[in-house]
Structure 1
Amino acid sequence: MKVKTISLAVILSLVSLNSYAKEFVLTDNENAISKGDWSLTNQDLGVKNSTFKIQNNVLKGGKQEGSQVITISSGNFTIKVSPTRGMGILSVEGDGVRMGWDSPVDEVVNPSNITLESRGGLGWLDGFNEMMVRCGFEWTGHPVTADGMIYTLHGRAGNTPVSKLVIDIEDKAPYTITVKGLIKENTFKKSHLETWATLSYVPGQKSFTVHDIVTNKGDYVRDYQIIYHSNYGTPILEEGAQFIAPVKEISPFNDYAVEGLQDWQMYLGPTKDFDEMVFNVYPYADEQGMTKVMLANKAGDMGAGIEFNINQLPVLSLWKNTDTLKQGYVTGLEPGTSFAYPVTIEREQKRVRQLEPGQSAEFSLTYHLFTDKKSVDDFSHKIQAIQGDRLTTVIEEPMAYE
């Protein structure tokens, strides 16, 4: 795939060409800016025909000491993002329905309290509780020791505080709110990747868009990978809930997942001793490369949907962890450039991409919350239209073994 080249100057010019009434810099390491607790409302900007509030809070106590949380709210819709944790989306709620889950990790853990190499490279799990966490960008997948180093679980981005944090608000309707954070994965002799991670939200809607631009700032070709680990628990996830997607091919991640192939679209209720069950999915898309996937509850009146382009994110990992509620009852719908195998396997199977010096890659995903039967049905029909009469190929053996 040809990777689009975007220079830093072009990126900055694109940002400056957008007409914003206000730009608020909350963090800038180069200029020693760290505003800490901060809030803004539509009234502060003199906006009368739209209602919204943006708030940044610095958390106190425990492992979350110093973590920041940005809360965007409009009406009864709320998005919570942590710039301390790589711009991960903590939770989304609207009409009393949540996109997110209940992890045993009940704090917004500051990365300073996490050792990624612990537990044999599984230290990432000590902070894992987000609705969406970026796995990447230097590498992702299960941990492995290779090249004289430990490739820890799911990379570093989700545990990297942003170096810059900017909030922009459009100067006219619909007053789109954009939160931008700069994630730096810079290591001497290794990575020099920098990512502008962006979330855009139109007040009053029950959807938002994530748009990331990752750039190789170094002088050498570098690998990159990304999985958008998007996670949902109750109330959408329940016994009888369904994964709905236009699936071209599905295969089990490992031998344990073979047991679940017959019912891969359906979910159990909380089940003690249920291990992680993962499926590798290649989705169908429309003529523009756009595809849609959704988790819907049993009654079909609540759902969480994701739209993305398979030219950017060609695969999807379907992660089922329907263990007990206290252990973490959750499923992941995870678009990515790679599956969750260790980077060594992904390299062998030619799914690890590369960036030339100065090159950038872009990724856009739109997330939807559905809180009534009509909206779930409408999205489901769009998914069915993409599938059409095309068949789903079910592969009964894993494509690789760790």
Structure 2
Amino acid sequence: MKKTLLLTSLALLVSAQASAQTWVLTNAEKGTDKGDWRITSQQLNLKGAPFSIEQKVLHGGKQEGSKIITLASENGLTIVLSPTRGMNLLHAQGFGVRLGWDSPVKEVVNPAFINLESRNGLGWLEGFNEMMVRCGYEWTGHPTTADGQLYTLHGKAGNTPASRVEVEVSESAPYEIRIRGLIKESTFKKADLQTMTELRYVPGSNSFSLHDVLTNHADYPHDYQIIYHSNFGKPILEEGARFIAPLANVSPFNDYAKGGMKAWNTYSAPTKDFDEMVFNLTPLADANQQTLAAVINKAGDKGAAIGFNVSQLPVLTMWKNTDTEKQGYVTGIEPGTSYAYPVTIEREQKRVKQLAPGASTQFDLTYTLLHSSEQVADVEKQVAAIQGDKQTQASDTPIAKE
């Protein structure tokens, strides 16, 4: 019996290993890196939606040495991410729609050229141009000085090069692609948080997902925070565009945002001197703790939706930055464990979480590019179903003051 079970287990293991091919592009422990690299579905003799995966090392200016990985699906999405910048997603596009925005920062800035402590802790902004940037995990939020240190804007993960990067392609239909990157926030006497990030995509589809696992490798418990800062501009963002989500309540982040409460979930055209407005939201969820939020264009035939689990990411931030196009015309949908207040406020209000030694936690999000009125209508129905007959409570009073 034991021999049979052992043989069965070995057969399953061999089968699992044979069902996918894996390429290690970066391995810091071994000091190896493939540099420029490319693989295609044609090379792998895979039928179905054609795709390619390519890594490039960039040169010139502040992007010298930065790497990008482009996953291109001929009849689906092209997704671009940067292993140098915390596995952040630079942009995704397909079906005539782009997910991303136009930042004044045009290069994929190598973190080696960024001082996070400059501008009183706002140095993070010197590289900010991504569609999705991980704000965390050791801390996040606006900069502050506490505990004898400067907590810089939105933490360090988004400006940390991945220590290990690998690409996996399933050898069976629908040939799912997984791109993984290990982000280490390890500091002597302070923290040893490590996050294995993973992007999953099925060629030809209009959505992709993130599956991130955060582990505390230290012998002591440690706090953690995360905001998935997801940003969208044209062609989705425009005058008359709308934000939708099932919500228990909404409130302004600060006194400036109080002036925008009457129209907080609709957008204006690019407006000089607008300044940013931020709104704190508490999402509702279905019986499985799943929810979603979306930004939709005026015509209702284009949009970006994010699905997430409120047991993992219990709060939601909406960032409205409808400044001029050159300054950065953009809105943010930001699921997180915390709002964007400094870590000191988030601690006081009991939103900072903690991991025990050796413990792990995970975060799962699904991004969908909406490219038809039918897809938009379906998302609106899902939001309405979760909202049900519950009323969203609106408050003009910020929940905290910096």
Give the alignment's TM-score, normalised by structure 1.
0.95
How far did 1:50 drift?
A: 3.0
Contact residue 20 and residue 168 of structure 1 kept, 8 A: no
Q: Secondary structure at the match of 1:92?
A: strand
**Partner residue in 2 for 1:277:** 277
Q: Secondary structure at the match of 1:223?
A: strand
**Partner residue in 2 for 1:26:** 25
**Partner residue in 1 for 2:3:** none
- Supply the AA of the counterpart residue of 2:186: N
How far did 1:18 drift?
A: 6.6
**Partner residue in 1 for 2:97:** 97
**Partner residue in 1 for 2:107:** 107
How far did 1:226 drift?
A: 0.2
Larger radius of gyration: 2
CA distance in 2, matches of 1:319, 1:379: 20
Q: CA RMSD in A?
A: 1.3
The answer to whether structure 1 residue 189 and structure 2 residue 189 are counterparts is yes
**Partner residue in 1 for 2:63:** 64
**Partner residue in 2 for 1:42:** 41
Equivalent residue runs for 1:1-400 within 5 Å: 20-76=19-75, 77-400=77-400
Report the more deviating stretch, 72-81 or 131-140: 72-81
- Supply the AA of the counterpart residue of 1:234: K
- For residues 264-319 of structure 1, give each alpha carbon's deviation from its aligned partner in whole angstroms, at most 9, with x where no partner exists: 11001100001110000001100010001100000000000000000000000100
- Supply the AA of the counterpart residue of 1:325: E
- Supply the AA of the counterpart residue of 1:119: R
- Supply the AA of the counterpart residue of 2:251: S
How far did 1:380 drift?
A: 1.0
- Supply the AA of the counterpart residue of 1:276: E
- Supply the AA of the counterpart residue of 1:369: L
Q: Please, which runs of 5 or more residues in structure 2 have no aligned partner?
A: 1-11
Contact residue 92 and residue 98 of structure 2 kept, 8 A: yes
CA distance in 2, matches of 1:17, 1:359: 26
Q: Secondary structure at the match of 1:31?
A: coil
How far did 1:324 drift?
A: 0.1
Q: Secondary structure at the match of 1:89?
A: strand
CA distance in 1, matches of 2:16, 2:296: 39
State the aligned residue count. Answer: 389
Contact residue 215 and residue 360 of structure 1 kept, 8 A: yes
CA distance in 1, matches of 2:130, 2:379: 24
How far did 1:21 drift?
A: 2.7
CA distance in 2, matches of 1:204, 1:19: 23
- For residues 111-168 of structure 1, give each alpha carbon's deviation from its aligned partner in whole angstroms, at most 9, with x where no partner exists: 0000000000000000000000000000000000001100000000000000000100
How far did 1:49 drift?
A: 2.5
Report the more deviating stretch, 47-56 or 121-130: 47-56
Identity of aligned residues (%): 61
Q: Please, which runs of 5 or more residues in structure 1 have no aligned partner?
A: 1-12
Contact residue 46 and residue 171 of structure 2 kept, 8 A: no
Contact residue 49 and residue 74 of structure 2 kept, 8 A: no
How far did 1:31 drift?
A: 1.2
Contact residue 280 and residue 339 of structure 2 kept, 8 A: yes
- Supply the AA of the counterpart residue of 1:341: Y
Contact residue 240 and residue 267 of structure 1 kept, 8 A: yes
How far did 1:357 drift?
A: 0.2
